[in-house]
Structure 1
Amino acid sequence: MKKFFIPLYIGTILFFVACSSDDNIIPDIEEPQEEQAAATAEDYPTQYFMWQVMNTFYFWQGDVANLADNKFSGPNDPDFIDFLASGSDPSDFFYNSLCNNHVNSVGEESAIDRFSGAVADYRDLLNSLQGISSSNGVEFNLYLANDLSSVYGVVTYIMPDSDASDKDIERGDVFTGVNGQALNINNYIDLLFGEDTSYTLNMAEFDNNNIVNNGNEVTLTKVENFSENPILINKIIEQNGLKIGYLMYNSFLAAYDDQLNEVFGTFKSENIDELILDFRYNPGGRVSSAIQIASSIYGAHTDEVFIRPRFNDKLQEQFGTPDNFTDTTFDSNTPINVLGLSRVYVITSDNTASASELVINGLEPYIDVVQIGGTTVGKNEFSNTFVDDPEGAFIYNAERESQINPDNLWGLQPLLGRNENADGFSDYTDGLVPDYLLDEDIENLGILGDENEPLLALTLSVISGETAKRSLSQPYPANYLTNSKMFRPTKDNMFMDGLLKNFN
């Protein structure tokens, strides 16, 4: 291995200071010129930072030729300098030159890496990981119309206390345009996720399997630094003499771990018989929060494995220590409330990813996990946030904020590895398939948390044993495209707290 790579058994990075060399240009006799210093890796700080992180931490480091340890002789290798200089656009450099067939480069069909990310300002990543963003409070799915060009949106839920919460818009509403422009495959990103903080949705409705504009408009304004509470609904449903806890949890965010623990405390004090976790709109988040939820369900068995991380060959021996179930919250060390259940019901969809899937897979070896709804995304890899702080091993640490290079604020969220459960299973890249399949019907979404809402109603019928008596209607034939959460910096990443804990 070349000497300028990040050492694997210490928590700091050793840099080689690039040396300058003389140009072979004969100066003019009458007007002597100063010697020009040769370019060094330090002249391309963003690309150099990206390469060092990916060369050490990236899960597929061994499969990317540009990241090979013998590709360059050192940071002063002219070929290495030329390589860094070729990345005039850091984003393109990251996705095209450092990632393993990233979806942004090769498309969905040929992609191996679907989830690694780079953003120009690491603070956007941090805010997103805490549920903080610029938001008007409307979450929605987007679909392709029958012509495979036009796009329409369907509201999935409204965040409480947001700009949208007191506007005339609700779950199930349909929109086809923004500011009078019809949405299509070429403009929907700019219109819905561009820099405009305010826009007007042009509303529509279903009419005999057609979507027609109804002339209504809703003007929405994004609020900076809006914080979404991921605990959207928690309640107890009584049915046939059973107490059933219901929790709709929409993101694994550390800032709400203590509040989440209080919800489980209520379930415990009410002595619930069954538990329903509604993850249908949960794209993932922090692994420690997933461990907390799983431990509250199964038990504080700190001697039993919840997950085993699989890193690249450089890191596996040092950092592949299993994460067990926990008896406290990660940040506040508050004792967790434990239900000790032998079964849990989980509602999923094609928006369910990452840490949500981790809870399902991690609990499978220990209790009966009954999955209801749609097949999940299939994101079994985890990531971490990296910044240009070489002495901190590039791993973001709030205590070292002042040490981050102020001239390079780029943040990386590359995939670092895969998590397998106690049985060694991690192969669910095609998604986790439900035991009871039912996709949401966008013509009949129902009211979240209501016992008649289709997915919750099906789950309750499974619990009561009356599933066979249910008559399930055929959902509207929708061609799913994406959803609003995929345009946040963290998208559906699984943030691995453990690496930060073990590396420093």
Structure 2
Amino acid sequence: MKKYFIIPVLLLTLTFTSCFDDMDDVEQVATTAQINDFIYRGLNFFYLYKADTGELANDAFTSTQAKNQFISSFDSPESFFSFLKSDQDRFSLLFDDYIALENALGGISLNNGMDFGLVLYPDASGNVFGYVRLVLPNTSASDAGLERGVIFNTVDGTQLNADNFNDLLTPDTYTIGLATYDGTTLTPSSESVTLIKTQYTEDPVYITKTLDVGGTKVGYIMYNSFTASFDETLNGAFGQLQAEGVTELVLDLRYNGGGSVRTATDLSGMITGQFTGQVFYTEQWNDDRQAAYANNGLFTNVTRNDSPLNSLNLSRVHVLTTRRTASASELVINGLAPYIDVVQVGTNTTGKFQASTILYDAPAPGFSRSEANPAHTYAMLPLIFKTANAAGNTDYVDGLLPDIELEIDYSNLGQLGNVNEPLLAAALNNILPGPITPRRSATLEKELDVNNGLEIMVVEGF
């Protein structure tokens, strides 16, 4: 069964990834021209934006020799891939190590457990401070006692800035210098914490709880990645909410950059349940592939393992979002919008509505792992189709805009899952005005686009 992926922001100007290591023990003997030929064949066949690059047209070259000369004229696969990409493509990716890529897509990465953001100092110095968004259990960060809201501004004694943060935060072991921040001034402290990355598989269902707010039972789920191997865990979480009789739901996707499209479809069925068989999303491929490959994604009532969905049959859901909310998360918001009231709380999302698939150096149309050229370990994740909801909404390049806008107060993030945490409080206040007063704040700092690992959205069944 072929798997397709929708990838969130990984190639913005300031991006940090930590889960890919070169395979030093694998000898790559393929020539650059051979790898470039694979890239060309894959993009010529599947690329969503094929029409934007003249050299990818089926009649671009008068002879095979002319095409081969073009392919051989680039000195690296990376430069060739970059040349062929459309200017409107922010997300297609090329990797020189598909084994590490496969591990990352399976939720396995080197991780110290500190999920963080980076913010430019408000003094225009170019310096950067980090803040801890959340801490994963059973990791170096949790062992060290780090908590959400901790501020740091140095790594191994060096001040973080917009130019060096990627290099400083990449090593498997580093020491962060802690600081305090009052909303205006950052003050370094004498404390430091050493963090060590180890191989880690994250359970994306971070928090599940039922809140009693003014007599209304409100379910709260913080869900951080649409990871297929945890589908039954997610369904179990909804079973818990169902058993506890929730009548409202707050779905926290503020740090969820994507995952399985099938899981996104199932999650939407868990929230609802009354739309089985109706269109959740449609697909738009390039002109060569549309007729043969495009399918509608439909609401379902079972998981991929055929377990019945634990559905809440809601007509409204509140979704917490930030700029890190991407891809499969956006698919849930956009896909549900024609059917129920989706109240988005926070900031606008990433703007990722396209899907990708892993292509290996193998014959078309499969480009399969089983037939991959053993002479190298390159693979790519090109955009292959874009999604639209049942009402036709797509191309939200600036993200999905919130109904209730609330910026981040880095000096007082609040405790996740607590009714007084700002984003959750704003959602609860909209559900039942009065009991919870959301704290609104204006943020002058500029947060960098930083990603702590690879996050993906997988579409299956084609």
Work out the CA distance in 2 between the residues paired with 1:148 and 1:59. Answer: 40
Give the C-alpha shift of residue 124 in structure 1: 2.3
- Structure 2 distance, partners of 1:471, 1:240, is 15
- Contact 2:327–2:352 (CA<8 Å) still a contact in 1? yes
- Once the two structures are superposed, the pairs formed by residues 465-504 of structure 1 within 5 Å of their partners are 465-466=433-434, 470=437, 472-485=439-452, 488=453, 490-491=454-455, 493-497=456-460, 501-502=461-462
1:189 aligns with 2:166: yes
> How far is the alpha carbon of 1:328 from its aligned partner?
1.4
Read off the aligned partner of 1:160 and give its amino acid letter.
Answer: P
Which of 408, 427, 431 pairs up with 2:399? 431
Number of the residue aligned with 1:410:
378
| Helix, strand or coil at the partner of 1:483 | coil
In structure 2, C-alpha distance between the alignment counterparts of 1:161 and 1:43, rounded to whole Å? 42
State the alpha-carbon separation in 1 of the partners of residues 132 and 338 from structure 2. 36
Amino acid at match of 1:151: V
Alignment partner of 1:246 out of 199, 220, 224: 220
Cα distance in 1 for partners of 2:302, 2:74 equals 45
- How far apart are 1:73 and its partner, in Å? 4.2
| 2:86 paired with 1:100 | yes
Tell me whether 1:257 sits opposite 2:231 in the alignment. Answer: yes
Cα distance in 1 for partners of 2:349, 2:182 equals 30
Query: Match for residue 209 of structure 2?
Result: 235
Aligned-pair CA distance for 1:395: 4.3
Measure how far apart 1:147 and its partner are.
Answer: 2.1
Amino acid at match of 1:91: E
Residue in structure 1 matched with residue 5 of structure 2 by the alignment: none
Is 2:26 the counterpart of 1:54? no
SS in 1 for 2:203: coil
Q: CA deviation at 1:472?
A: 3.3
| 2:193 is aligned with 1:223 | no
Higher relative contact order (CA 8 A, sep 6+): 2
Secondary structure of the 1:263 match is helix
Alpha carbons 1:380, 1:428 under 8 Å: kept? yes
Q: 1-side partners of 2:154 and 2:398: how far apart?
A: 32
**What's the counterpart of residue 70 of structure 2?**
83
For residues 267-306 of structure 1, the aligned pairs below 5 Å read 267-299=241-273, 301-306=275-280
Between the aligned partners of 1:131 and 1:301, the Cα distance in structure 2 is 30
Residue 126 (structure 2) pairs with residue 126 (structure 1): no
From 189, 211, 223, give the equivalent of 2:186: 211
**Aligned residue in 1 for 2:146:** 169
Q: Tell me which amino acid in the other structure corresponds to 2:142.
A: S
Q: CA deviation at 1:92?
A: 2.1
Q: Spell out the pairing of 1:336-415 with structure 2 (5 A cutoff).
A: 336-390=309-363, 393-396=366-369, 400=370, 403-415=371-383
Check conservation: 1:346, 1:369, Cα contact below 8 A. Answer: yes
Query: Structure 1 residues 42 and 215, CA, compared in 2 at 3 Å: closer, same or farther?
Result: closer
1:64 and 2:53 matched: yes
Q: CA deviation at 1:387?
A: 1.2
Structure 2: distance between partners of 1:290 and 1:148: 41
CA RMSD of aligned residues (A): 1.9
- Partner letter of residue 399 of structure 2? G
Tell me the equivalent position of 2:118.
Answer: 142
1:412-432, Cα deviation, whole Å (9 max, x unpaired)? 111112100111111311111
Instruction: State how far apart, in whole Å, the 2-side matches of 1:116 and 1:263 are.
Output: 33
Q: Which of residues 430, 453, 463 in structure 1 aligns to 2:421?
A: 453
Q: Which amino acid aligns with 2:451?
A: S
What is the aligned residue count? 433
> Alignment identity in percent?
39
Residue equivalent to 1:34: none
Structure 2: runs of 5 or more not aligned = 3-29
Distance 1:359 1:452, change over 3 A: same
Q: CA deviation at 1:208?
A: 6.3
**Cross-structure match for 2:176:** 201
Amino acid in structure 2 at the alignment position of 1:258? E
Larger radius of gyration: 1
SS at match of 1:238: strand
Letter in 2 for 1:263: A
**Does the C-alpha gap of structure 1 residues 481 and 81 become closer, same or farther in structure 2, counting only changes over 3 Å?**
same
**Worse-matched range after superposition: 297-306 or 239-248:** 297-306
Q: Which one of the candidate residues 156, 169, 174 is aligned to 1:179?
A: 156
How many Å apart are 1:212 and its aligned residue?
2.1
State the Cα distance separating 1:408 from its structure 2 match. 1.9
Rounded Cα–Cα distance in structure 1 between residues aligned with 2:313 and 2:183: 48
CA deviation map 1:256-292 (0-9, x unaligned): 0011111111111222111110000011111111000
Over 3 Å counting, the alpha-carbon distance change for 1:483 and 1:373 in structure 2 is: same
Which whole-Å CA distance do the structure 1 matches of 2:276 and 2:73 have between them? Answer: 49
Residues 422-459 of structure 1: per-residue CA shift (max 9 Å, x gap): 11111311111111110121111011111111111111
- The match for 2:33 among 39, 44, 47 is 44
In the TM superposition, what is the alpha-carbon distance from 1:210 to its structure 2 partner? 1.2
**Residues 168 and 218 in structure 1, CA contact (< 8 A), matched pair in contact too:** no
Deviates more, 1:380-389 or 1:257-266: 380-389
For 2:132 and 2:80, locate their aligned partners in 1 and report how far apart those are by CA, in whole Å: 35
Give the Cα separation in 2 of the matches to 1:246 and 1:432.
21
Structure 2 SS opposite 1:361:
helix
Measure how far apart 1:130 and its partner are.
2.1
The match for 2:387 is 419
Deviations, residues 159-211 of structure 1 (Å, cap 9, x unaligned): 11111111032111111111111112221111112xx2111111211146111
Counterpart of 1:5?
A: none
Q: Which amino acid in the other structure matches residue 246 of structure 1? A: Y
Checking the alignment, whether the CA contact within 8 Å between 1:300 and 1:326 is kept in structure 2 is: no
Question: What is the identity, as a one-letter code, of the residue corresponding to 1:443?
Answer: S
Counterpart in the other structure of 2:13 = none
Greater mean alpha carbon deviation, residues 142-151 or residues 198-207: 142-151
Q: Distance in 1 between matches of 2:140 and 2:241?
A: 31
TM-score, scaled relative to structure 1: 0.82
Partners of 1:442 and 1:475 within 8 A in 2: no
| Preserved CA contact (<8 Å) 1:300 1:327 | no
Change (3 A) 1:114 1:391: closer
Report runs of 4+ in structure 1 exceeding 4 Å deviation.
none
Structure 1 residues 253 and 339: alpha-carbon distance in aligned structure 2, compared to 1, 3 A threshold: same
User: Structure 1: where are the runs of 5+ without partners?
Assistant: 1-10, 12-40, 102-111
- The verdict on how the C-alpha distance between 1:148 and 1:292 changes in structure 2, with shifts beyond 3 A counting, is farther
Helix, strand or coil for the counterpart of 2:134?
strand
